[in-house]
Amino acid sequence: MIDLYYAPTPNGWKISIMLEELGIPYEVKPVNIRAGDQFKPEFLAISPNNRIPAIVDRAPPDGGEPLPVFETGAILFYLANKFGRFLPTEMRARMVTIQWVMWQMGGLGPMLGQHGHFALYAPEKIPYAIQRYRDEAARLYHVLDTQLGKTGAYVAGGDYTIADIACFPWTMTHKAQGFTLGDYPNVKRWYAEVRARPQVQAGLAIGKFVKEPFDEEARKNMFGQRAKEVTGKT
């Protein structure tokens, strides 16, 4: 049994999709990030970076105590290694997959996250910040489009891997962020193929935000002000 500490965000979807793709039993532990659940001591014991998602594997391969894992890249690698799926065993193909997961972790996710914040959520619209992150997001979409054009199939090659599972949820935000997949034909083809997978649809369907106002308290919890209060830093 895997416990999934989760909220329905692009990072949360990575792991709900992975678990659905694996077809293994798991239990969702909702984390209301608008209400500040991510700062509770019991969650910080699992995810010290106070970010979702995280998992606890109650049957780890070594037969020991339940094993907590945080950070989506680490979770994807852990699950792929444990169950022997979605990560090639051949050295070169494995390294290609690992590189593209790291590309998503260090580039696609953070840059789209920053663009989304400044363009959609920031109380003050700062043109320089919006343009800076939009330009970088567009560049990364072009990198992804070029790679998918080379493979003609999936991100890391001919097979569906954790590289696709890592990248896809962030491309789900393209409409909200004002990007048109028609500008990236290889991404558009890949997006449609991945989006049509039943396991992906099931992973995306896990949980919804409670219909509550996105008020100042939610903003504090989601965008850093609450973290200052918890750490005592200014």
- Tell me, what's the pLDDT at 124? 93
Q: What is the rounded average pLDDT of the residues 113-141?
A: 96
Q: Which residues contact 182 (CB under 8 A, 6 or more apart)?
A: 188
Number of other residues whose CB lies within 10 A of the CB of residue 219: 16
Q: What is the pLDDT of residues 46-78, one digit of tens each?
A: 999 999 999 999 999 999 999 999 999 999 999
- Tell me, what's the pLDDT at 34? 86
Q: What is the pLDDT of residues 164-180, one digit of tens each?
A: 999 999 999 999 999 99
Of 32, 23, 24, residue with least CA distance to 5 = 32
Q: Do the strands 54-57 and 26-30 form a parallel or antiparallel pair, or are they unpaired?
A: unpaired
Q: What are phi and psi of 52, to 5 degrees?
A: -90, 160
- Tell me, what's the pLDDT at 234? 44
Q: Report whether 139 contacts 76 (CB < 8 A).
A: no
Q: What is the pLDDT of residues 134-162, one digit of tens each?
A: 999 999 999 999 999 999 999 999 999 99
Q: Report whether 34 contacts 219 (CB < 8 A).
A: no
Q: Is 224 helix (H, G, I), strand (E, B) or coil?
A: coil
Does the pLDDT value for residue 212 go beyond 60? Answer: no
Does the pLDDT value for residue 16 go beyond 70? Answer: yes
Q: Is 154 helix (H, G, I), strand (E, B) or coil?
A: strand
Does the pLDDT value for residue 45 go beyond 90? Answer: yes
Q: Report whether 84 contacts 103 (CB < 8 A).
A: no
Whether pTM > 0.85 for this model: the answer is: yes
Residue 64 carries which DSSP code?
Answer: -
Q: Please tell me the distance from the alpha carbon of residue 18 to that of residue 29, in angstroms, as a whole number.
A: 16
With the C-alpha atoms ordered 142, 146, 151, 153, is the resulting torsion angle positive or negative? positive
Q: What is the pLDDT of residues 86-110, one digit of tens each?
A: 999 999 999 999 999 999 999 999 9
